[in-house]
Chain A
Amino acid sequence: MSRLILHKLYRCPGRQPILDLGQVIEISTGELVVLVGQAGAGKTVLARMLCGLEPCDGGQIELGGRSLSKVPPHQRRVGYVMQGDALWPHWSLSQNISFPLRCRGIGRKARNSRLRALLADAALEDLADLKPDQVSLDARGRAILARAVALEPDVLVIDEPFDQAGPLDQIRLVHEREKLTTLILTRNARQALSIADRVGLLSAGRLLQWGAPLEIYLRPESEEVARSFGPINILDGELESVDSRGTAVVRTVLGRLTGRLGTDRAVSAGDPVRLLFRPESLAHGTTGFGTNRFAATIDQRILDGPICHLGLRGPGGWRGAAAVLSVQAAGLKEAQAASFSLPAESVTVLLNRSDPLS
């Protein structure tokens, strides 16, 4: 068992905390979790705390039931892929990969057989004798990953893997084969959604939201989360009513729209709210399955393969975007008025924090 539990980790080397998770993150054995965050969000600090390279000022790290607080880095059984290219430039790829094995005093025979397996898994057999400067970025990424898993760690921590040319497939492969508990820290939200079992968003050292990729994408709990994972339409309005199942009716400049309440705070009719919905949840025409319907003028029309991106202008100066299938957008032109439908499940209703009363 290599279940990883991060208990309210806290790190404050100066006056301002650089990491304050504030909640317990539990990562099951073999699960692949991605934490997304911009530069300075605390991703690298978290990775280094996991490895023991950075001390914890608060909270606790638990791996497989044992606390890692006083365990030195090399005894933690954590494989760490550092941000950027951290291969040793004087050594060949095979020397780089076998270094951990040599340090642990593994015999030549066992070492060589393990090295051969690692090189084969990373498709680096032909490049084994080349130095990092002599191979492509892609090969370097694979070598770094192979070095991290050489000692068969319990947990694999990867910091900014998508900076490298293409270790994404390699990460999938390693994760599936070794069944490793994997934590990826990245800025690339789109890649994160495509690979993760669970996703979280880190911002200024705090974990804003945490859950399944689709849930986070479709039901963001804040505007920041919504923006971080893709383009979003925002519409201000006034709450008209809300039922016991959390379905809210909001009066907006586009008319009366129904959505799902995305906040736990008590709300009442008349509260200023903000509606969030993804461009692709809009369907052109009144024949769509959405319960919400409104009309808008098409400002801009950009064909992007199977998808057609539409810039919309609605009443009251509202500006938004829609992404419809290209085949459905065949008859649409710029400056043309069109009607759109929007399913209520795709609309998140949040309290409008910009309103001083909220």
Chain B
Amino acid sequence: MIWVPRLLAWVLSWTVRTLLLLVMVGLIASAFLDISVTDGEFRGTWFFWALGLFNPRLRVAFTQTLVLAAAVTLIALVLGETIGVVARHSRGTRWLARLAWSAGFVMPPSVVALGSRNLVASVEVPETVSAQAMSLVLLVLSQLPWSLALTGTLITRRISRVDPRWSEMAWLAGGRMGVARAGRFLIRPIVRPEAARAASLVFLTVTLEPTAALVLGESRNLAGQIAAQVIDGGSVPMIAVTTLMALGLGLTGFGLIRSVGGVHDDNRPPAAYPGGPARTPMHFLRPPRRPLAVGLGWLAVVLNLAIILVPLVGLFDFGWRQNGWMELQSVHWKRFNLVLRHAMIQGLFAGSLAVLIAGAWVTASRGGMRLWTSRGISLMPAGILAVAVVVSISTLRSILQGFPLLGLGRDSLLVLVLAFAFFPTAVPVIRRGYLRTDPHFLEQARLGGPSGHRRIQRARWRFLAPKVIACLVALVWATAVEGQAALIFASSSEFQTPGPGLIFAAAHSGSLPFASLLGVGIILSGFMLRSLGFPAGWLGIVVGSGIGPPQIRSSISRSPRTRADF
């Protein structure tokens, strides 16, 4: 009965593809259909396109989005790359950089925006700084922690694969000039594709991310306008046009940056160091320290940490100093409980569904490269997917006049959207584990008959379980605190989950301490779950295997990274 789970996986993965296709078709159709005509006749219109292109508000939003995305991408790239290069030689920088990346990954833009806003409100801003410039600075700051973490992580990982002997050879060959040339001609080509990959993702996400703009009350960028229109119940074709415009801008930037980066030329495994693994290669083969580079790296790390500390200080300032805790107990405790409960339920359902879809996806494609749809979805933040779903459903309802949505309520739809939006994150993690299972195991399993097959499946799950559990923990948190999609679906009940709860509370000055407390809660829970991720993975090993970790580790080390072919 091996084919049963395979069939289920295949059906699930194709259902996801079909639904996504329908949603995208619905979104595009909405931009061309004037659904205000409800007498059964629909007329196609170019009016909204013209409106979109010539509308001064949209033009300003387009320009501002472009400036914002370009600024964030550039800063993240420069700082991330500097830290990545220097962290290779300096243990202290490496440690601090890791801390900064961890912090960046658990700070959503809305939380950073709120913290920065709180802090700016409590300090005196010079009159020479205009409000517009200040809001642009705050918008850039809001997007920096996660984008720095993304670029820094990817670039550092790539740089660590550069063989330290290359610089040494260049030094021997040509002195300082040789080292400079080595950096330009040798290390740069390796880092460039990864840097471009990170930068393109940053550009795309900043273009489509509305929560920071909403918290700052600055809806002059495209994403902010889309969210504001959806919440206010704006014209559906107009929302669709704005969404497509934002998607077009984001994807164009994404494609351009990726094409500049080129493809990886070096697919070799990490460099093998002479003398075997017993030696510490970084220390042993480290070129002499260059004080200027190390100083620059430290400066970048300190700047990075400062960027992260600014909103944290702002959050704590409001949450604690202004009797936020007392207020929480006396006034908001009920609301806070409700938010927590909703977040847990939403996170558990959406996170589990996302992991389930990812597992089905990998199993159905047998770990192969038929992942184009998942990559496509990964390019679409949850908010945009939610907008596409809302717009498509509105259009569908108008066409079918009273279509009951298959009985799905807002909450169920939100869970589905979150699962669709987040499952591509889990796909590479599960796929990597899936592919590492040695195909020879499977051949042995066939020879061993049914019991052999069961054993092999168990072995595969022993390897996959820790990854899946760690992935699940991360996704439960991410879907629980997600703000964009939840905001679009939760317009009726304001404080359902922390993401939209924070944004709504931030809009009312009286609820600022509550919003700050939500922000602190999001960051602390992120840190907690992130630190839980590793033990959860080990728990998965113990629960899933019944034998100790060393045996598994040795069986993994024997397994070549080849495609599992069964």
Contacts and interface: CB of A to CB of B under 8 A. Distances in A.
Given A82-B165, A89-B268, A44 B275 contact: yes
Interface stretch (B43-51, B175-183, B205-213, B449-457): B175-183
A310 interface: no
A103 B268 CA distance: 27
A39 interface: yes
Given A72-B175, A99-B173, A89 B181 contact: no
A74 B172 contact: yes
A73 B166 contact: no
B131 interface: no
B173 A74 contact: yes
Contacts of B260: none
B175 A74 contact: yes
B121 interface: no
B173 A40 contact: no
A233 to B, nearest CB: 32
A13 to B, nearest CB: 8
B530 to A, nearest CB: 34
Interface string B225-264: 0000000000000000000000000000000000000000
A53 B170 CA distance: 12
B116 to A, nearest CB: 42
Give the size range of B's interface with the partner: 20 to 34
Contacts of A147: 169, 173
A90 B178 CA distance: 16
Given A86-B165, A89-B265, A74 B275 contact: no
Interface of B is mostly: helix
B261 to A, nearest CB: 15
B175 A83 contact: no
A44 B175 CA distance: 21
Given A90-B265, A103-B178, A151 B272 contact: no
B186 interface: yes
Contact of B170 (A75, A83, A90, A99): A99
B439 interface: no
Contacts of B441: none
Most buried by A among B165, B173, B272: B173
B170 A51 contact: no
A44 B278 CA distance: 14
A219 B287 CA distance: 41
A73 B169 CA distance: 10
B189 A90 contact: yes
A300 B265 CA distance: 55
Nearest to B287: A53
B549 interface: no
Nearest to B265: A90
Contacts of A84: 165, 272, 274
Nearest to B165: A86
A36 to B, nearest CB: 16
A95 to B, nearest CB: 9
Interface string A70-98: 00111100101011101011110000000
A103 B181 contact: yes
Contacts of B168: 53, 82
Give the size range of A's interface with the partner: 20 to 34
Interface string B263-291: 00110100010111010000000010000
A145 to B, nearest CB: 13
Nearest to B190: A90
B171 interface: yes
Contact of B172 (A51, A90, A133, A159): A51
Given A53-B168, A82-B165, A82-B169, A90 B185 contact: yes
A160 interface: yes
Contacts of A100: 172-174, 178
B218 interface: no
Contacts of B166: 86, 88
Most buried by A among B166, B170, B174, B185: B174
A99 B174 CA distance: 8
Most buried by B among A83, A89, A133: A89
B327 interface: no
A198 B186 CA distance: 38
Given A89-B265, A159-B274, A103 B174 contact: yes
B163 A80 contact: no
Contacts of B190: 90
Interface string B184-206: 01100110000000000000000
Contacts of A53: 168, 171-172, 287
8 contacts: A39-B276, A73-B172, A80-B169, A83-B274, A90-B189, A102-B174, A104-B174, A150-B173
Given A80-B169, A91-B186, 19 more contacts: A53-B168, A53-B172, A74-B173, A82-B169, A82-B274, A83-B275, A84-B165, A84-B274, A88-B166, A90-B186, A90-B265, A90-B266, A99-B181, A100-B173, A102-B174, A103-B173, A103-B177, A147-B173, A150-B173
Interface of A: 39-40, 44, 51, 53, 72-75, 78, 80, 82-84, 86, 88-91, 99-100, 102-104, 133, 147, 150-151, 159-160
9 closest Cβ contacts across the A-B interface?
A103-B174, A100-B173, A74-B175, A83-B274, A103-B178, A86-B165, A73-B172, A103-B177, A103-B173
